[in-house]
């Protein structure tokens, strides 16, 4: 497993997905984009999973798409297929049934930045650097990926990063609103694990309803609004709602089952 490009583990209702090409700064190949989409779809379908963390092995989160493949797989007639694989990975992260927390350290560039933007929450180490360098390569980002970047940064900062390709540090990304927190490098993994465990301990139907409602508010899409309404309605007659009330009255910790 340690030699696989993605390391996936599930324990205590939390799944972890780790990009595993540290010698290449976790640059993502075409095959890895496909694997990321499949992995997140599989984890989303697992009822035991209540939160997902996404990180990189070694010193970096990800340098983005592997530029070594660009001449063959991201040029000419092949470019559209490559972009589709990108989009599918972003969509799988964005559309995961449960919250996704990105743990960011070192470089978080290009497609790596896109994956982080698709996550629900982002925590970075103080050494993290961020960039969207498409303009320096002569490329355009997929519209759905740009939606995530705008939602995470706001339109003006999204314009600044994409128009200039400039790099920003963790403190600047925090002030932009891209990051929830900035922590020391040795605190990143335990902090993300603690946050994931806190989410996993809460009522899954409630967390799901909140995620869908936030997505509906961001998208303004009527279909998203209906999905959010249906998810909210499910909580009212759920066993977890009854358990939450009973635990509150008894002043004990609730034990939610996701039904």
Contact 224, 212 (CB under 8 A): yes
- The rounded percent of the chain whose pLDDT value lies above 90 is 79
CA 157/CA 237 separation, integer angstroms:
42
CA 74/CA 77 separation, integer angstroms:
8
In the 8-state DSSP scheme, what is residue 10?
Answer: E
pLDDT in tens, 137-190: 888 887 878 899 999 999 999 999 999 999 999 999 999 999 999 999 999 999
pTM (whole model) above 0.85: yes
CA-based torsion, 164, 137, 28, 73: positive or negative: positive
Considering 99-108, 128-137, 229-238, the range whose residues carry the highest mean pLDDT is 99-108
CA neighbor of 199 nearest in space, from 50, 16, 49, 11: 50
Report the chain's C-alpha Rg in angstroms.
19
pLDDT of residue 213 exceeding 70: yes
pLDDT category at 79 given cuts 50, 70, 90 is: low
pLDDT of residue 73 exceeding 60: no
- The rounded percent of the chain whose pLDDT value lies above 70 is 95
Measured at the CA of 41, the angle between CA 240 and CA 19, to 5 degrees, comes to 110
The whole-chain average pLDDT of the chain stands at 92
pLDDT of residue 3 exceeding 90: no
CA neighbours within 13 Å on the CB side: how many for 159? 3
Please list the residues that pair with 124 across neighbouring strands.
104, 182
What is the CB neighbour count within 10 angstroms for residue 29?
A: 17
pLDDT category at 74 given cuts 50, 70, 90 is: low
pLDDT category at 70 given cuts 50, 70, 90 is: low
What is the CB neighbour count within 10 angstroms for residue 121?
A: 19
């Amino acid at each position: 497993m340690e030699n696989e490009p993605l390391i996936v583990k599930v324990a205590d209702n939390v799944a972890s997905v780790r990009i595993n090409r540290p010698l290449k700064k976790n640059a993502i190949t075409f095959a890895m984009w496909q694997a990321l989409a499949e992995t997140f779809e599989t984890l989303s379908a697992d009822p035991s999973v209540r939160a997902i963390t996404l990180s990189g092995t070694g010193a970096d989160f990800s340098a983005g798409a592997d530029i070594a493949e660009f001449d063959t797989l991201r040029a000419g007639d092949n470019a559209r297929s490559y972009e589709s694989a990108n989009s599918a990975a972003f969509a799988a992260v964005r559309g995961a049934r449960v919250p996704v927390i990105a743990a960011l350290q070192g470089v978080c560039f290009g497609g790596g930045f896109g994956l982080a933007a698709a996550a629900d929450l982002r925590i970075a180490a103080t050494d993290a650097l961020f960039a969207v360098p498409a303009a320096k390569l002569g490329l355009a980002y997929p519209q759905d990926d740009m939606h995530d970047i705008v939602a995470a940064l706001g339109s003006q900062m999204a314009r600044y990063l994409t128009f200039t390709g400039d790099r920003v540090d963790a403190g600047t990304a925090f002030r932009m609103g891209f990051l929830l927190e900035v922590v020391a490098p040795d605190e990143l993994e335990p902090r993300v694990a603690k946050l994931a465990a806190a989410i996993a301990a809460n009522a899954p139907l409630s967390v799901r309803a909140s995620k869908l409602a936030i997505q509906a508010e961001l998208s303004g899409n009527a279909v998203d609004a209906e999905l959010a309404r249906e998810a909210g309605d499910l909580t009212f007659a759920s066993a977890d709602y009854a358990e939450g009330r009973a635990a509150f009255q008894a002043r004990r910790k609730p034990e939610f089952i996701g039904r």
